[in-house]
Amino acid sequence: MTSAFSTTRARLTTIQSDADQQMRDEVDQLNSLTQKVADLNIGIANAENTGNSASELRDQRNEAVRQVAELTGARSVEDQHGMVTLTLADGQPLVSGDHVVSLQVQNLPSGLGAIQINGQPAVIGDGRLRGLEDSINAVGAQITSLDDLAETITSARQRLAHFGNRSERQSRC
């Protein structure tokens, strides 16, 4: 039975680690996309200020904004100058005009990562990153439950063994 618990725990740990690595990769992708949005904001403003068409740049930016929203659930607002601001669920800006605030992944003592912005936990309200965070937490809860169950069974077996040994000694007397 111990082997089954160990095997199951190892599988859950692998699933959790894989989700953590995917989260880290997607944070890197997100940071590239937000920089692209800021760069396109500048390109669009420059093109429109000189009377040129910025429709192709707007299409590129719209696609990058869509991808950011898929990752984070970020909301976008375009100002009167054609610049897009992207914000997280709590209003924290990822992109404001040409300024980008990158997300970071802080390593926790467990070896897993926590997404942060400006040194604080990032509020990811939706999207693939929210799903990955939820998955990592849910698998962690399953690992804890499995560990608790294994401990309970081990303790019960020890109590039964102890009780059985006492009963044998008492029956010999």
pLDDT tens for 101-158 read: 999 999 999 999 999 999 999 999 999 999 999 999 999 999 999 999 999 998 888 8
Q: How far is CA 19 from CA 8, 57, 160, in A?
A: 17, 34, 40
Q: What is the average per-residue pLDDT within 24-37?
A: 98
pLDDT of 8 higher than 80: yes
Question: What's the pLDDT band for 169 if we cut at 50, 70, 90?
Answer: low
Instruction: Please report the pLDDT score of residue 170 as a whole number.
Output: 59
pTM of the model: 0.86
Q: Tell me: the pLDDT tens digits for 42-79?
A: 999 999 999 999 999 999 999 999 999 999 999 999 99
Q: Which residues contact 5 (CB under 8 A, 6 or more apart)?
A: 146, 149, 150
Query: Comparing C-alpha atoms, which of 125, 119, 115, 101 is closest to residue 34?
Result: 101
